[in-house]
Amino acid sequence: MAAFDFPAAPVVGDEFTANGITWQWNGEAWWMARFAAPPPPPSTIQIKRTPTDNNPPPNLSLKPGELAVEMGAPLRLWVGVPPAIDATGKKLLAFMGAGDPYVDITGDTMSGDLKILKVSPSLLLDRSGGGTGSNLIGMLAGVSRWVERLGDNTAESGGNAGSDYVLQGYTDAGAALATPILRGSRATNRLSVAGNPIAPLDIATKQYVDGGGAILSAPFEPGMAFSGLQINGNMEISQENQASSVAVAVNSTKYSCDVWMMNWAMGATATATTAQMPGGTCPGFPISMRLTTAAAATTPASEYAIMQQFYEGTRWNKLQWGKGAAAWPIRVSFWVFTDGVGPYPLTGTVNVRNAASNRSYCAEFQVTAQSVWEFKTVTIPGCPDGVWEIANNNNAANLNFVFAGGPSVRTAPNAWFAGSQFAGTNQSNFFAGVNHSVHITGVTVLPGTQIPTLASYPLVTRRHDQEFPNVQRWFRLFPWSVEGYSGAAQNRITAPHQFPAMRQPPTITRAQVGTHTNIRASDPANFVSVGANAEGEAQVSLESAAAGLVQAINFVERFSTRF
């Protein structure tokens, strides 16, 4: 050990350093004041590497500070860390190659969520000019569904004009819908929507409110009862068939309950029956209308099964269809029951077409369970264009409840189109099995989008005595009796009969031959006749066989103005 050579005659506070140690004189002795720290250990450098692809260092194989390099693909740099920092004993420092977990600032795709955690987080979209706008895009499987533009490509021209806000929806195919659902103007500091409301909770525009669209009758249900466009919606009136089941031939039509036509075209062998069904269990609607297939039917092409109602122009004209933005929407509601085996849900269609069949709208609905009454409601937006009969009693519109439809009669739902298709894309076949049947009742067609509560729906359909005159504009049974004296053979006895005006002069067929006396050749088919003089008048004519009393008692005619 080296000797210490302390200075002679030191004074208090003097220091002396030797061999890395500093001594200080305290007046009596030298004491150790401080010493130099030992030199640090040498730096740890890279000690591991491998040329094998995708071969990271094993867990806990690196000492803290050691580096390991994967020289294959991907190229990665690892550093050893204490297990307290990472249980694997390593951390990734750099990555080059496929699957890079780091975000590239020039553009990249992330597989995890991005979270900004700070006092006032912000997402900045700074558009340099041009393009379609500053966009936030929502997609499904790579196909656009929604785009929010926080400043579109509308040119800025001063006065806060341009770079407007847009919320744009897209079709299933990823094409932009015709009108953005929402648009905001910087110039006016206002938002506008795509159009007037359709569903009850839609946004009501100023033009809709100003036009009276938001005004309800008070109380609601009685007002709607007289505004409803439907006829015989609760199926209470069945003059022609009563509650009897009647056949619907192959590829034919048949009226069931009054003003309801069954349109059946389900192939060359499948026939059907239809009937009014009293004594049902639908809440508030004990009577329904049924359509039943006699054989399992298929829909490979243009087959269809429809419950159909027609509307004359003087009834439909209040909706102002074909008049642009003034056209009113309608809300079609009904109860449906089907006993088919499924599989459920089954999809049906509510369709509205004009008489020319070149404006059509399909709204789909689903029946979710077998043998259960289900309430359904759909909204049909007002048709802004096309020709709709409004000034006469001709056919203005067809309301179709579609329960089967082949591919050639289907079209995309929820949009007006210039065509004759009447079933939605997802239309099911409700008649795929023997004796499968469908019942409907409680049909309402209300102008606007407001609907009553479910419990009060029976109040919206008109009473029997109120509905009967509406029905008889289309069909009535006309019982009559006439007698008189003839002065000779082959004389005519005539008698006019008046009745409430029908839609037009009716077509007349005989429903019942009554008793008759002194009719020429005893042939009432040819010599007891009834002809229509006008919409509300018919003339009975009897031709005598000989002089004397001539009678025709308890005859019944069918008067029809149905399409």
- Tell me: do 438 and 556 sit in the same domain: no
Residue 537 falls inside a structural domain: yes
- Last residue of one domain, picked from the residues 405, 437, 471: 471
Does residue 219 surpass a pLDDT of 50?
no
- Tell me: do 443 and 357 sit in the same domain: yes
CA distances from 20 to 16, 23, 200 (A): 10, 10, 91
- Last residue of one domain, picked from the residues 407, 436, 471: 471
Does residue 216 surpass a pLDDT of 50?
no
Sheet holding 15-18, edge to edge: 15-18, 21-25, 30-35
Q: What is the pLDDT of residue 254?
A: 97
Does residue 212 surpass a pLDDT of 60?
no
Does residue 296 surpass a pLDDT of 80?
yes
* Measured distance CA(217)–CA(215) in Å, rounded: 7
Q: What is the CATH number of the domain that holds 365?
A: 2.60.120.260
- Tell me: do 466 and 514 sit in the same domain: no
Structural domain tally of the chain?
3
Does residue 217 surpass a pLDDT of 50?
no
Residue 169 falls inside a structural domain: yes
Does residue 114 surpass a pLDDT of 70?
yes
Q: What is the pLDDT of residue 221?
A: 47
* Measured distance CA(405)–CA(424) in Å, rounded: 8
Does residue 225 surpass a pLDDT of 60?
no
* Measured distance CA(227)–CA(215) in Å, rounded: 13
* Measured distance CA(168)–CA(461) in Å, rounded: 39
- Tell me: do 446 and 477 sit in the same domain: no
- 453 or 543, higher pLDDT: 543
Q: Which residues contact 523 (CB under 8 A, 6 or more apart)?
A: none
- Tell me: do 375 and 449 sit in the same domain: yes
Average pLDDT, integer, range 217-231: 64
- Tell me: do 375 and 392 sit in the same domain: yes
- Judged by DSSP in three states, 95 sits in strand
pLDDT tens track for 455-512: 778 888 888 999 999 999 999 999 999 999 999 999 999 999 999 999 999 999 999 9
- Tell me: do 508 and 460 sit in the same domain: no
Q: Give the residue carrying structure tokens 């995890």.
A: 112
Query: What one-character DSSP code corresponds to residue 315?
Result: H
Residue 256 falls inside a structural domain: yes
Q: What is the pLDDT of residue 276?
A: 96
Average pLDDT, integer, range 90-115: 79
Beta strands in 284-417 (DSSP E): 288-293, 304-312, 330-338, 346-354, 360-367, 374-380, 395-405, 410-411
Q: What is the pLDDT of residue 162?
A: 86
Average pLDDT, integer, range 545-557: 97
Q: What is the pLDDT of residue 451?
A: 77
- 214 or 526, higher pLDDT: 526
Residue 7 falls inside a structural domain: no
- Tell me: do 263 and 388 sit in the same domain: yes
Give the model's confidence band at 211: pLDDT under 50 very low, under 70 low, under 90 confident, else very high: low
- Tell me: do 437 and 300 sit in the same domain: yes
| Cis omega (within 30 of 0) for bond into 219 | yes
Beta strands in 448-501 (DSSP E): 475-486, 492-498
Does residue 136 surpass a pLDDT of 70?
yes
Picking from 75-79, 197-201, 210-214, which range would have the lowest pLDDT averaged per residue? 210-214
- Tell me: do 496 and 547 sit in the same domain: yes
Instruction: Compute the C-alpha angle 206/208/212, nearest 5°.
Output: 115
Does residue 220 surpass a pLDDT of 90?
no
Residue 416 falls inside a structural domain: yes
Average pLDDT, integer, range 546-559: 98
* Measured distance CA(441)–CA(247) in Å, rounded: 20
Q: What is the CATH number of the domain that holds 523?
A: 2.60.40
Does residue 43 surpass a pLDDT of 60?
no
Residues above pLDDT 90, as percent of the chain: 58
User: Which neighbouring-strand residues pair with 549?
Assistant: 485
Residue 84 falls inside a structural domain: no
Q: HEC states along 398-461?
A: EEEEEEEECHHHEECCCCCECCCCCEECCCCCCCCCCCCEEEEEEEEEEECCCCCCHHHHHHCC
Residues above pLDDT 70, as percent of the chain: 92
Helix/strand number for the chain, H first, E second: 5, 33
Does residue 362 surpass a pLDDT of 70?
yes
Average pLDDT over the chain reads 88
- Tell me: do 322 and 392 sit in the same domain: yes
Does residue 549 surpass a pLDDT of 70?
yes
pLDDT tens track for 161-182: 888 888 999 988 888 887 888 8
Q: What is the pLDDT of residue 213?
A: 52
Residue 253 falls inside a structural domain: yes
Residue 240 falls inside a structural domain: no
- Tell me: do 429 and 551 sit in the same domain: no
- Last residue of one domain, picked from the residues 194, 210, 230: 194
Q: Which of 495, 461, 455 is nearest to 478 (CA)?
A: 495
pLDDT tens track for 190-203: 888 887 777 767 88
Domain housing 308: 246-471
φ, ψ for residue 544, nearest 5 deg:
-80, 155
- 191 or 207, higher pLDDT: 191
